[in-house]
């Protein structure tokens, strides 16, 4: 049964008629949309600088830089930044990724000037105070110590290494103990001065403010930003899919559970079969009680504490993987059953009922997912980042409803090969 959106869908979702898009002279792209039913505004955005710009001996540099931007500038110390934000109930924060550094903030519409001023100040004038930098490093090192004792994190880390050798996707954004320990305050300063700049930057403003006014406020605070050192946006290196199944098992003493991560590389977000792949993944290991994987591996066979699949979404071929937590004695049984389900997904068309249920879910959840300003802002950012077009949400129900069982099967078969999987397991030592 075809899922039709509400009658006012096309006029109520963000569309070219109510999204303002302006490119500033320095290259910053601003998107703005009004929501005068809300007294607040949400800001989200990104800069093209992430862990793929890190030197290998200082992996984690981009992540720590992002995490320390708010800890002091030439104009405000750590306490002043947070006092100013808290005094008006505003928030602002940064996060580091592989390709980009993201930022998110919110405030009352009347306080947007302060929010944008602090955003500009922390991006352009951070000083990375020694004490605050060491606190940030200590937090990261604590996280890395916890990662080393996690079967799930270890399995995921080794999965990425095997699937993406000599590639940025095979490296952890937060680095390793030895690389994080080697990062100095001077490294943070140099990284910010050399890599942070307006080229390719995106900023989205949604909420109780006129879109043109929002653009002008961004221009006032960031329109004069220049950085001649900023490099061109870095492209991903060439990469080849594994030609055979690759396996690794890591031992972590005193653990009672094993974690399995197995799969392959899926499509980039910009690929024409991404949406078909996403629907295939939902049927496979997401929808309802974690799709077929949850039903077969966990519910029927009782082999897993949890089991599901996930599909990455990035500029490059993100991972399409199955994750399961199992009793160590059930590792091989679970791997074999997951492999069988992959074979079924690529050799048989999904049922009409499965497809229609997921289509209805995809179309029906859009209005609910756009109720908050921050959700709208995040959606607009993804639309611009992946060049989907300002009319993407208008077209979305038709795109979803047009997908066939044959297309879902073809998309899965294009990326998943049961004889060329990467299988990573982490768990306690096995008894002989």
Whether the domain at 9-222 and the domain at 246-427 fall into the same CATH topology: yes
pLDDT above 90 (res 167): yes
Residue 392 has a pLDDT of: 97
Report residue 199's pLDDT band, with 50, 70 and 90 as the boundaries: very high
Residue 9 has a pLDDT of: 85
Average pLDDT over residues 143-155: 97
Report residue 17's pLDDT band, with 50, 70 and 90 as the boundaries: very high
**Percent share of the chain, pLDDT over 70:** 99
pLDDT above 90 (res 24): yes
Residue 201 has a pLDDT of: 97
**Percent share of the chain, pLDDT over 90:** 96
Residue 2 has a pLDDT of: 64
Q: What is the pLDDT of the chain when averaged over all its residues?
A: 96
pLDDT above 90 (res 319): yes
What fold is seen in the domain 246-427? Answer: Cytochrome Bc1 Complex; Chain A, domain 1 (3.30.830)
Quick: pLDDT tens for 364-413.
999 989 999 999 999 999 999 999 999 999 999 999 999 999 999 999 99
Report residue 209's pLDDT band, with 50, 70 and 90 as the boundaries: very high
Domain ranges of the chain: 9-222, 246-427
Residue 53 has a pLDDT of: 97
Which class in CATH covers the domain with range 9-222? alpha beta
Report residue 11's pLDDT band, with 50, 70 and 90 as the boundaries: confident
Q: 390, 15 in Cβ contact below 8 A?
A: yes
Pairing relationship of beta strands 246-251 and 422-427 according to DSSP bridges: parallel
* Largest distance between two CA atoms of the chain: 70
Residue 7 has a pLDDT of: 75
pLDDT above 90 (res 4): no
Q: Phi and psi at residue 304, in whole multiples of 5°?
A: -135, 145
Residue 432 has a pLDDT of: 65
Quick: pLDDT tens for 234-273.
999 999 999 999 999 999 999 999 999 999 999 999 999 9
Q: 261, 246 in Cβ contact below 8 A?
A: no
Closest CA to 325 of 300, 345, 344, 297: 297
User: What 3 state SS string does the chain have?
Assistant: CCCCCCCCHHHHCCCCCCCEEEECCCCCEEEEEECCCCCEEEEEEEECCCHHHCCHHHCCHHHHHHHHHHHEECCCEHHHHHHHHHHCCCEEEEEECCCCEEEEEEEEHHHHHHHHHHHHHHHHCECCCHHHHHHHHHHHHHHHHHHHCCHHHHHHHHHHHHHCCCCHHHCCCCCCHHHHHCCCHHHHHHHHHHHCCCCCCEEEEEECCCHHHHHHHHHHHHCCCCCCCCCCCCCCCCCCCCCCCEEEEEECCCCCCEEEEEEEECCCCCCCCHHHHHHHHHHHHCHHHHHHHHHHHHHHCCCEEEEEEEECCCCCCCEEEEEEEECHHHHHHHHHHHHHHHHHHHHCCCCHHHHHHHHHHHHHHHHHHCCCHHHHHHHHHHHHHCCCCCCHHHHHHHHHHCCCHHHHHHHHHHHCCCCCCEEEEEECCCCC
pLDDT above 60 (res 1): no
Quick: pLDDT tens for 32-79.
999 999 999 999 999 999 999 999 999 999 999 999 999 999 999 999
Quick: pLDDT tens for 64-73.
999 999 999 9
């Amino acid at each position: 049964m075809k899922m039709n959106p509400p009658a006012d869908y096309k006029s109520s979702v963000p569309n070219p008629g109510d999204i303002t898009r302006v490119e500033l002279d320095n290259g910053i792209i601003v998107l703005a949309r009004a929501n005068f039913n809300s007294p607040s505004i949400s800001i989200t955005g990104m800069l093209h600088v992430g862990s793929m710009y890190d030197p290998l001996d200082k992996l984690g540099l981009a992540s720590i830089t992002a995490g320390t931007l708010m800890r002091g500038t030439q104009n405000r110390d750590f306490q002043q930044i947070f006092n100013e934000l808290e005094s008006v109930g505003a928030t602002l924060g940064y996060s580091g990724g592989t390709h980009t550094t993201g930022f998110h903030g919110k405030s009352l519409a009347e306080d947007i000037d302060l929010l944008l001023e602090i955003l500009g100040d922390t991006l352009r004038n951070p000083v990375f105070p020694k004490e605050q930098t060491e606190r940030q490093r200590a937090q990261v090192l604590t996280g890395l110590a916890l990662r080393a004792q996690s079967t799930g994190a270890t399995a995921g880390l080794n999965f990425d290494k095997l699937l993406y050798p000599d590639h940025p996707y095979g490296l952890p954004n937060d680095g390793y103990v030895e690389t994080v320990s080697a990062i100095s305050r001077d490294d943070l300063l140099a990284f910010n001065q050399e890599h942070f700049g307006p080229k390719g930057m995106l900023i989205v403003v949604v909420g109780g403010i006129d879109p043109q006014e929002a653009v002008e406020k961004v221009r006032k605070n960031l329109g004069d930003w220049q950085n001649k050192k900023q490099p061109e946006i870095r492209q991903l290196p060439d990469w080849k899919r594994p030609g055979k199944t690759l396996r690794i098992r890591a031992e972590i003493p005193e653990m009672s559970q094993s974690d399995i991560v197995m799969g392959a590389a899926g499509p980039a977000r910009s690929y024409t079969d991404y949406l078909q792949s996403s629907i295939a993944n939902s049927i496979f290991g997401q929808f309802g009680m974690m799709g077929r994987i949850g039903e077969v591996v966990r519910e029927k066979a009782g082999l897993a504490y949890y089991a599901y699949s996930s599909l990455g979404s990035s500029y490059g071929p993100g991972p399409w993987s199955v994750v399961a937590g199992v009793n160590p004695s059930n590792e091989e049984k679970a791997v074999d059953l997951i492999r069988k389900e992959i074979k079924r997904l690529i050799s048989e068309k999904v049922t009409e009922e499965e497809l229609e249920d997921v289509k209805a879910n995809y179309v029906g959840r859009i209005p609910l997912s756009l109720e908050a300003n921050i959700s709208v802002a995040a959606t607009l950012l993804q639309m611009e980042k992946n060049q989907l077009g300002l009319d993407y949400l208008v077209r979305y129900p038709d795109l979803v409803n047009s997908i066939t069982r044959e297309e879902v099967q073809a998309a899965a078969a294009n990326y998943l090969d049961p004889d060329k999987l990467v299988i990573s397991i982490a768990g306690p030592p096995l008894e002989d």
